[in-house]
Structures are given as C-alpha cells and as structure tokens.
Chain A
Amino acid sequence: MEMTLNWYLTLSSVLFITGTLGFLFRRNIIVMLMSIELMLNAVNLTLVALSQAAADTAGQILVFFVIAVAAAEAAVGLAIVIAVFRGRQTIDISKIKSFRY
C-alpha cells in the first residue's frame, strides 16, 4: 500500500484536532501547554508533507522557525506557570479568575 500525501494530511489533522480538544477540555495548565505543542507539531507534519509533495523547500524552512518558536514559547510559558504557582499554589485554570466584569 503506497503512502500518499493524504495519509500525512489526515494524520496531522487528527493530531491537530486532538491538541485543540485537549486545550479546550483539560484544566491543568501543563497539559494545556502540551496540547499546544501537539498542535504545532501537527502543523509541522503538514508543512513537511506538503513541502515534499510540491518539491519546494519553503515549507521545510518554516518548520525550523516553528521549532524555534515552540521552544521559546515553552520557555516563556513554563516561566509564567511557575510565577502563577508561586502566587496561588495551584495550576488549575478554572481556579485562576481574579478579574470580574
């Protein structure tokens, strides 16, 4: 059975939807960060597959930028989570709501 482009696109869209649902329905901030990473990596898979199919390198170049940005985002995100935990002793997003209408 030959692996066509659609297999990769289907797999990456399933991964992306998994990440989206994880972000929307999990209340632990660390798990939400992991879901975001999953979304970004699903997009990386899409980009590499499309880039390979089109025989064009621009998509793969963007993947390198995405990897760097994901690393920077993880660093900043974890720093913010630590600051939140120091102040409140919790990383449950539903318990962090000090602003009101």
Chain B
Amino acid sequence: MELSQAYTSLLSDMGHTIPLILIVLTGLVIVLLDAFKPRHVSIPYLTALVLAVALGLEIQTIGSQGGTAYYELIRVGGMAAYVNAVILTSGLLSVILMKPYLERIDHNIGEAYALLLFSITGMMVLGSANSLVTIFVGLETMSICLYIMTALIRSHKGAIESALKYFLLGAFSTGFFLYGIALLYGATGTMMLPEMRGAVAVSDSDTMFWAGLALLLVGFMFKVGAAPFHMWTPDVYQGAATPITGFMSTASKTAAFASLILVLYYAVPAETWNGVIAILALITMIVGNVIAISQTNLKRMLAYSSIAHAGYVLVGLSAGTGAGYSGALYYMLVYTFMNIGAFGVIAFMEFDGKEGSEQRLDSLAGIGYKKPVLSVCMIFFMFSLAGFPPFGGFFGKIAVFAPAIDAGFIWLAIVGVLTSAVSAYYYLRVLVVFFMKQPDGVYDFDASPVPFSATAVIVLCAGVILVLGVAPSIMEVTMSFFSSSITTTAAVLP
C-alpha cells in the first residue's frame, strides 16, 4: 500500500462512488434543513430526486467490469452496481409511498427521509463490501438507522415495542457476527475477502476458522430473517409503519444477501458449507410457509411470507455455483417489486389507526370493489409471490431452484415446490377476502382517494412483475451477465 499517493488515489476513487457520496451528503443536508425548517415541503422531493439520480448512475455502470475502490475496501461496477441499483429502486419506490402515508398519519417528519438515506448508505456499503471491516460498518449503519425507523411513530406503543425487540435481538446478533469476524481474522490473518480464500486451504482443519464462519453465518441468518433466527421478523414488520416495512423487507435483505454471497463466493470453499445452508433453507421455507397459514393480520402474514422467501433465496445460495448466486440476485430484484407493491397496497387499506398492526384480514372483505385499482394490482403481487407462471416470481423460483437441483439438492427443490404450493393457500385467501366475501359488519373505510403518486408506484410494480414474467429473456440477460461478471472479477482478484 503506497500511502504517499493516498489523497490522489482517494480523489480518483471518488469518481466510482458518486451515488454513495451523493446520498450521504443529501442525508446530511436534510438533517440540517429539518433542524432549521421542520417538515419543510422540499424534503421528500429532494430525497426522491437524489435516489433517482443515484439509481440512474448505478444502472449505467452495471455493464462495466467490476473492480474495487478505496484500497480494495469496497467493490464497484458489475455485481456491486446491480445490488446498489436494486437497493436504490427499493428506496425510491418506498419514498414515493412513504410521503402520502406519513402525511395521512401526521408524521411527515424530516428524520424519516434522512434516516432512509443513511440506511441506504449502509446497505450500499454492505452489499458491495470487499473486506470484513466494510461489512461490519455497512451492516451497523444500516441496522441502527432501521431500529430508529421502526420506532418512527413514537406515540404508538406497538411501534416502540417492535423497535425494542428489533434492537435487542439485532445488537445481540451483532455480537455473534463480530466474534465471527474476529475469529476469521485470527485464523486467516486478513480482513480482505479474496485474500481469505488462499489462507483457508492451508488451514482447513482450523477450529478457529470454522467457529468464526459459523458465528458469521448466525449473524447473517439473523439479518436476512432465516429460521431459526427469524423470531424478530413478525413483530417488527407488524409494528412498523407499512411503507417502511416494505423498505426494510426488501432493501435490507438484498444488501445482506449480496454481502453473504460475496463472503461465500470469495472467502470460503463452497463444498464445506453448502450442506449447512441447504438445511437452513429447508427449515426456513417450512417455518415461514406453515406459520403464515394461521395468521389473521395481513402484515404479520406477509412477514412470515418474507421469511419463506428468504428460504427460497437460501436454496439458490446452497448450490454454491455462479448460477445459484445470480439466481439469488435475480430473485431479490423480483422480490423487491413484489413486496414493495404488496406492502404499498395494504398501506392504503388501513383504518385501525395503528398502522395496520391490529387490523384483521376479514375486515377487508369486499374492499376489491371499493379500491379496484389497488386490489387488481394485489392480484398480481399475490400470484407472483405464490410463484404462478405468468409473473416474475415464477421465473425467480426457477432461477434459484434449478441451480440447487444441478448441485444435487433435489430433495431441497422438492420441498421448495411443495411449500410454494402451501403458500398459494394463504396468498389466494387474501384475494378471496378482497373480492368474494361480504363484509360481516360495518367498517369505517377510509374513503379518501389514494394519491396519484402512490397508485402510480403500485401499478408500476405490478407492470414490472408482469414484464419480468412474460419476457424471461430479461432474466437470461441478467443471469448470464451476472455469472460471467462474478467469474471475471474473481479472475482479476487472486
């Protein structure tokens, strides 16, 4: 490392991370703006604008060769750009849904947007990390912002309780995660992911290394909400404000999965851990889908469904091949649109005054005729989440199950398909309630029209799911691009 050129090198690397820098700076500007002009009208628009600009910049660099910046601490271009683009898409759609929602419950405060930007910063660092130090910093930046965002509605006891559970279990898992990093560092003598791989081969019977990897996996499984570390997910998703739940369930999982992929791909040989991941995927799919059946609250049901979807992504990871990883990344793209859309729809169907945390699914009987546009979009989201063919979710599932079958996990793919069939029951029940049931009482429906911007976002999500479903060539382009880009960057970095 040549330090005499440090400043020149830092300045030249800044050109590769403009989106990240833009987002941090805008976050700081919003904190200042909100301090002097509370709830200033420009804050949501500024947030959306900077997210859109950053998204455009990242999409432009997806095609470029992946590389590293800042003395190999983070990765840029290629896969990193794709992951960042998914995270930014999730953030942008969430901001547009958040504004009318927070205005309705009179909580349109500037912190919400600043915290969203800071958590996106953490996610982008986490999803493009090339060193264990970067992973830790990104993970904690993301998590601490999310703890606060969960507790945004301070007057609501449920939201505070969700934040408390999220915080306690999150900080606890951080301890394990960090101990894992320390032991991996001790066993390999380096924090850089690509350098670790070389160090593993010489010490493959090293207890310290395997204990470290196990602890690190525990930390990751907690962050992606995989069973048996999923206990926080239902409570947190149920208590937080609905558009923020949509954001948390998509962007933070994308970032954590991307980071897990980087660790598994660069740092450790696949044949040693993929059995463990396969078993975790099995438990996660069964737990998520089976418990979701008995839920009466829509947000809690979607929380268990998101646990199940983490299981499907883990099926892709268990293959331990480039195809499995690219399938997982493709799945996260589809999942982002499906879940933001679904949470967006239910965000505008709440009338319990507690952000939907106590509202029963039955109380939405017949709402399909009162809010037709949102309800029709819900058909798209539910069918796609269940994995029916004309929608993106179907090809997403193929993309993660096929590599697992190639890697010999046929039993895992069978269980995946069976649990998907189970999931169709609770997804389609939502549609039955929406369209085919009569309300059994008089409910105080919020008759005010849904804002145009929110409707547009939800319709856009539905449209993208359909496009991802009827034009699978998009998937092939994405997948071939990803499997090739990962391999080539692996060759560049020893």
- 8 Å CB contacts to A: which residues of B127-142? 132-133, 136-137, 140
Chain B residues with Cβ below 8 Å from A19 are 175
Q: Does A3 contact B (CB under 8 A)?
A: no
**A73–B140 Cα gap in the complex (Å)?**
9
The 5 A-B residue pairs whose C-beta atoms are closest, nearest first, are A39-B175, A50-B186, A46-B182, A58-B191, A69-B140
Surface stretch bound by A, among B56-64, B158-166, B314-322 = B158-166
Q: Does A25 contact B (CB under 8 A)?
A: no
Question: Which residue numbers of B lie inside 8 Å of A, CB to CB?
Answer: 132-133, 136-137, 140, 144, 147-148, 151, 154, 157-158, 160-164, 167-168, 171-172, 174-175, 178-179, 181-183, 185-186, 189-191, 234-235, 238-239, 291, 294-295, 300, 357
Question: Which residue numbers of A lie inside 8 Å of B, CB to CB?
Answer: 9, 16, 19-20, 23, 29, 32-33, 36, 39-40, 42-43, 46-47, 50-51, 53-54, 56, 58-59, 61-62, 65-66, 69, 72-73, 76-77, 80-81, 83-84, 87-88, 93, 96-99, 101
Cβ of A56 and Cβ of B189 under 8 Å apart? yes
Cβ of A98 and Cβ of B147 under 8 Å apart? no
Chain B residues with Cβ below 8 Å from A46 are 179, 182-183, 186
Cβ of B160 and Cβ of A77 under 8 Å apart? no
**A56–B199 Cα gap in the complex (Å)?**
15
Residue of chain B at shortest CB distance from A77? B167
22 A-B residue pairs with Cβ-Cβ distance under 8 Å, sorted by A, are A29-B164, A36-B174, A40-B175, A43-B178, A43-B179, A43-B182, A46-B182, A46-B183, A50-B182, A50-B185, A58-B185, A61-B133, A66-B136, A69-B144, A73-B140, A73-B167, A73-B171, A73-B174, A87-B160, A98-B161, A99-B234, A101-B294
**A93–B239 Cα gap in the complex (Å)?**
17
Chain A residues with Cβ below 8 Å from B183 are 46
**A47–B175 Cα gap in the complex (Å)?**
13
**A9–B136 Cα gap in the complex (Å)?**
21
Chain B residues with Cβ below 8 Å from A62 are 132-133, 136, 181, 185, 191
* Nearest chain B CB to A79 CB, angstrom units: 8
> Taking each of B148, B175, B239, which has the highest tally of chain A beta carbons within 10 Å of its own beta carbon?
B175
Interface SS of B by simple majority: helix
**A58–B367 Cα gap in the complex (Å)?**
57
B175 interface neighbour in A36, A53, A59, A88, Cβ under 8 Å: A36
Chain A residues with Cβ below 8 Å from B144 are 69, 72-73, 76
**A22–B171 Cα gap in the complex (Å)?**
14
* Nearest chain A CB to B65 CB, angstrom units: 27
Cβ of A99 and Cβ of B158 under 8 Å apart? yes
**A69–B402 Cα gap in the complex (Å)?**
40
Chain A residues with Cβ below 8 Å from B163 are 80, 83
**A65–B389 Cα gap in the complex (Å)?**
47
**A65–B154 Cα gap in the complex (Å)?**
29
* Nearest chain B CB to A32 CB, angstrom units: 6
> Taking each of A29, A76, A80, A87, which has the highest tally of chain B beta carbons within 10 Å of its own beta carbon?
A80
B136 interface neighbour in A54, A65, A72, A97, Cβ under 8 Å: A65
Cβ of B136 and Cβ of A80 under 8 Å apart? no
Chain B residues with Cβ below 8 Å from A56 are 189-190
Knowing A62-B136, A99-B158, say if A47 contacts B182 (CB, 8 Å).
yes
Cβ of B235 and Cβ of A99 under 8 Å apart? yes
* Nearest chain B CB to A90 CB, angstrom units: 12
Cβ of B178 and Cβ of A66 under 8 Å apart? yes
**A9–B208 Cα gap in the complex (Å)?**
11
